[in-house]
Structure 1
Amino acid sequence: MSSLVAYDDSDSEENSSDQQERSSSPAQTAPFEQNLSPNAQILPNAPISTADRMVSGYQGDTRFNCHPHSQSQSQRDWRSFSKSQEKLVDCTSPSLPVTHCNTLPAQAPPCIQKSFSHASNSTKRQQNVPSDVRPYISKRQRLCTSVETEQKDDPSEPVHGSQNRETQILSNVPSRLTPYLGQKPRAAKIPRRPLMSLGGHQGPVNTVQWCSVPQCSHLLLSASMDKTFKVWDGAESGRCLRVYTCHSGAVRDACWTPCGQQLLTASFDNTAAITDVETGQQTVKLDNQFKVMCVALHPSNPSVVVCGGYSSAVKAWDSRSCKVVKVYKAGVQQTLDILFLKGGEDFITSSDCVSRDSADRTLIAWDYQTTAVLSNQIYHERYTCPSLALHPLEDTFVAQTNGNYMALFSTQKPYRMNKRRRYEGHKVEGYAVQCEFSQDGTLLVSGSSTGSTHFYDFHSARLLHSLQAHSKPCLCVAQHPVLPATAATCDWAGEVKIWH
């Protein structure tokens, strides 16, 4: 049964007859009566003309007629119709033409034309949004932004997981560093006075290292026994830029990757990890099943990570697949340091194995590809070597010894020690005191258990200057790769200092 809905307030005889017909079939018209406005009336069956189809919304045998008797009354009826049209007509129905839902022809009554023109204008206003209007930001994002703004000045705030601040530390180059970029490295000079003191670590700082990328060389990395490692602005502000809490144990060793965007760390929680500098997210985690004391990257293949520690074996990992690719086994208890020689074909490990008469297997040379021992009779004195350093230009390397001196060795087989040249004047006394060469290879610098820093002339082995840097044992000294006469030191009390 088809029906015709009309919006008419007149009390004519035709309306009364329509009401009688509607009451005669209540079961069929009840659904429509519930959805219509009080002024809506149902008309009997009638043929639907083409003009009525164009004016009215049409679907099946049901059409809605809007032929008002007066302009004001029709406007009120049309508003009532607009409120109920969503229930009466489904504009998304496939049986209804799309044009009947969006537009009306010129034959439509003035009330309908006015209403639809108003709707179309509002649609245009929504589509033509000015370009300078800010997009909607959710409440969660606004809260995160406010928290980051409040904690921006907190130098000790840790970075967990993938948290990322608004400030990008790798893209900010301080003004003090800019004049030296693009220039040839100058001759190394000895720093004389303190520039700034960086506090914040709650335990001994084992190592400090500048970023080797010139544009990011103002960034200073420090690793501590308080289970954290930090990145500082060591060239200008001295502010702590990031605090990384990725390890559950003491961080024993740390270094920058060649790209300067990631950090490689070794921890007593049995893992070595690669962490993104910006986000603080741990991208690679290598479970060695022993306390890791030292890590090193392969010079020609940075995806290879070599780890040593409280184990008789040294493991080489592929950081892309997180799998062990090579294992180097020796009769030692622990590995203190790892040093790749030029080219990466072989490397040197330092262990704690000391016999009664000689330091047999204290320094071991390994072939990287075959995992074979090339030599274990390199150093014959009864002292362990807590750290190793490679000369940047010559085929030599030095080993820091617990005999309170640094020994010089050749990088060519059979890795002989130069007995005529040793660097004395500082003290080690069981601490993991590190040594390092300057960029041009003219200076050799070392810390001391007395808290001082010692600068040696590499070729003559003469002590050039001794700087009283700390009151506690000075464990590491790092010379800046770009800025002249600039160095960073760290001590057993957790203090980091910049010298100029």
Structure 2
Amino acid sequence: MSSLVEYEDSESEDESLDQARAGAPGCAQTGPSEQNQEAVVCNNSNITHNPPSFTPDRDRTVLKYHGNTSERSNSSLRPISQPQSCFDREIHYCSSRTAKDRHFRDTAAPLSLPATQEKISTLQTVSHMPQSFDGGLNPAKRHCTVPSGIRPYIPKRQRLATSVEKVDSKYPSERIPWNQTRESQILSDVSARVKPYLAQKPGAAGIPRRLLMSLEGHQGPVNTVQWCPVPHLSHLLLSASMDKTFKVWDGAESGRCLRVHTCHSGAVRDACWTPCGRHLLTGSFDNTAVITDVETGQQIVKLDNQFKVMCAVLHPSNPDVFLCGGYSSLVKAWDFRSCKMVKVYKAGIQQTLDILFLRGGVDFITSSDCVSRDSADRTLIAWDYQTTAKVSNQIYHERYTCPSLALHPLEESFVAQTNGNYMAVFSSEQPYRMNKRRRYEGHKVEGYAVQCEFSLDGTILASGSATGSAHFYDYHNARMLHTLHAHSQPCLCVSQHPVLPATAATCDWAGEIKVWH
């Protein structure tokens, strides 16, 4: 502002005011009190939002403020000859200061030079705000921009919101329109199709026979599908795919994709719900296991296992702990509250295909691809969860790997899907003996990770097939009840609904999901 004013310490205060009045012959002269009032108006944050439009001249406004500041700091300013604006009298109505306030302000302590510069910067920022005061007399409005050296003030709450958005943009967890993400509360909605069955006692499981809907959206093989275990949220269907995404669908009514999660950089091999239905646990080939919030889609924790994760399972009595296995001889137990590895199980095998906790969570079973030429021990290994010791490795003696395991919901038994194209039954109590008189045959596995699952009452055992069919067996007599020709590609998983009778979801190697009733 050196081009507008000159500092002369030798001049008195009255002489500078007289020269300022003489420099504007075209306008009515304004007294010192009016100039003070004018400076107050410029700095007042409570200006009426819709005053008569007038664009203040930047140079003149700064000049007047210099004059007011010089009066308080006992220094004089001599303005260069330039016509002043006549808007002094036009904006007197904006000031709410009394004469007593102005007198107190005029007799305040003098300002230091840095404070004066700060006031000038503030005034420049205010004078360039898009507010007009010309009362419509000046149709050619000049839009001034904030100088490059001045940074506008941003409230703290807005700064925090901006920082959160920047962090989330690095790890996108959902790609859904903004309104749908914020307004649609999927955990508070109850499906109209599921609601009538909530008050009823669960009946006998049925067998689905006709197609209800087809869900398309995955670009790669779908490894697993799973209904939400919470009854009033059981219309939600979770799917994990090799296309690096896992999705949540409305599998009961509309068939819409409610959430798309893309927090993994590798294929999502396994996924499951937490018992509360609010979080998802996923394991991926990018070496990570992730806990995700279903409602917001945000990552709660992301843990690096340092190997490709093939399976991830929650502890049945302590859902804050989960186990991860994969392309490693180790099985790791994590506590996602502290993000620390709490236990390590060393098996000395090549990779872990599946993990199954037995009832109570005291022991668990791991399935591996370790099959020697002379003995098939260590294909299924029983572990003590607390001591990390092997309980038994002489459970299954046939030379077939077991890609998946399933626990009976009521009885003390579990089944293992084998690459021998049958499912074997084992006791879930020590010494974990296999029932050699009962086998579930008739489907093909042929090296695919075909999964098996029990119905809620334990009477029906369902399995996929490499031929694309879904097979339903009577658990007690091992008789095949029905074969559903579901897909043209290998059917990898069959998930039976926990509430709706005779309802199941299937997925295949081509990325298609179907719901049957």
TM above 0.5, yes or no, is yes
In the alignment, which residue of structure 1 is the partner of 2:145? none
Residues 403-482 of structure 1 aligned to structure 2 (within 5 Å) = 403-482=420-499
Aligned Cα RMSD in Å? 3.1
Pair 378,85 (structure 1): closer, same or farther in 2 beyond 3 Å: closer
Answering whether residue 251 of structure 2 is matched by residue 241 of structure 1, we say no
Question: Is residue 2:323 matched to residue 1:316?
Answer: no
Q: Which amino acid aligns with 1:248?
A: S
Equivalent AA in structure 2 for residue 437 of structure 1: F
Give, as a single letter, the amino acid of the residue that structure 1 aligns with 2:13: Q
Q: Tell me the equivalent position of 2:13.
A: 28
* Residue of structure 1 equivalent to 2:511: 494
Which residue does 1:375 correspond to in 2? 392
| Counterpart contact for 1:433–1:475, Cα < 8 Å | yes
Counterparts of 1:81-480 in structure 2 under 5 Å? 158=175, 164-480=181-497
Change (3 A) 1:38 1:279: same
- How far apart are the structure 2 equivalents of 1:77 and 1:360? 97
Aligned partners of 1:86, 1:211: CA distance in 2, in Å? 65
Distance 1:443 1:321 in 2: 39
Q: Quote the Cα distance in structure 1 between the aligned partners of 2:384 and 2:88.
A: 94
* Superposed CA offset, 1:39-83 (max 9, x none): 44689xxxxxxxxxxxxxxxxx99xxxxxxxxxxxxx99768668
Partner SS, residue 422 of structure 1: strand
For 1:121-147, what per-residue CA distance to the aligned partner results, in whole angstroms no more than 9, with x for missing partners? xxxxxxxxxxxxxxxxx9xx9xxxxxx
Q: Deviation per CA, 1:254-307: give whole Å up to 9, x if none.
A: 000111111100000000001111211111111000000000000010010100
Cα drift, residue 194 of structure 1: 0.5
Distance 1:266 1:283 in 2: 14
| Distance in structure 2 (CA, Å) of the matches to 1:395 and 1:84 | 84
Alpha-carbon distance in 1 for matches of 2:187, 2:482 = 34
Q: Does the 8 Å CA contact 1:177/1:235 hold for their aligned counterparts?
A: yes
Do the aligned partners of 1:160 and 1:281 also contact (CA within 8 Å) in 2? no
Whether the 8 Å CA contact 2:417–2:451 is kept in 1: the answer is: yes
Q: Residue 480 of structure 1 aligns to which amino acid in structure 2? A: H
Change (3 A) 1:77 1:346: closer
Q: CA deviation at 1:321?
A: 1.0
SS at 1:301 equivalent: coil
SS in 2 for 1:180: helix
Q: How many residues align?
A: 390
Tell me, yes or no, if the aligned pair for 1:296 and 1:338 is still in contact at 8 Å: yes
1: CA distance between counterparts of 2:29 and 2:225? 85
Aligned with 1:378: secondary structure? Answer: coil
Distance 1:487 1:246 in 2: 28
Maintained 8 Å contact 1:364/1:378: yes
Residue 217 of structure 2: SS of its match in structure 1? coil
Q: Deviations over 1:454-481 (max 9, x none)?
A: 1000000100111100000000000000
SS at match of 2:196: helix
Query: Residue 409 and residue 87 in structure 1: after superposition, are their counterparts in 2 closer, same or farther (change >3 A)?
Result: same
Residues 172/91 of structure 1: CA separation in 2 closer, same or farther (3 Å cut): farther
Q: Which amino acid aligns with 2:395?
A: I
Cα drift, residue 331 of structure 1: 1.5
TM-score by length of 2: 0.70
Aligned: 1:38 with 2:28: yes
TM-score by length of 1: 0.73
Give ranges in structure 2 of 5+ residues lacking alignment: 1-9, 34-70, 73-86, 109-157, 162-172
2:308 & 2:474 partners in 1: Cα distance? 36
Preserved CA contact (<8 Å) 2:174 2:262: no
Instruction: For structure 1, list consecutive stretches of 5 or more residues without a partner in the other structure.
Output: 1-24, 44-60, 63-75, 98-137, 142-155
The answer (yes or no) to whether the contact 2:174–2:297 under 8 Å persists in 1 is: no
Q: Which has the larger Rg? A: 1
The change in CA–CA distance for 1:77 and 1:183 in structure 2 (over 3 A counts) is closer
Q: How many Å separate the matches in 1 of 2:323 and 2:223?
A: 19
Moved more, 430-439 or 274-283: 274-283
SS at match of 1:158: coil
Who is 1:126 aligned against?
Answer: none
Amino acid at match of 1:208: V
Secondary structure at the counterpart of residue 188 of structure 2: coil
Residue type of the alignment partner of 1:166: E
Partners of 2:273 and 2:393 lie apart in 1 by 29
For residues 271 and 246 of structure 1, the distance between their equivalents in structure 2, rounded to whole angstroms, comes to 10
Q: Describe the superposition over 1:361-389 as per-residue Cα deviations: whole angstroms up to 9, x where unpaired.
A: 00000000000000000000000000000
- Give, in angstroms, the shift of residue 158 of structure 1: 2.4
Counterpart contact for 1:436–1:444, Cα < 8 Å: yes
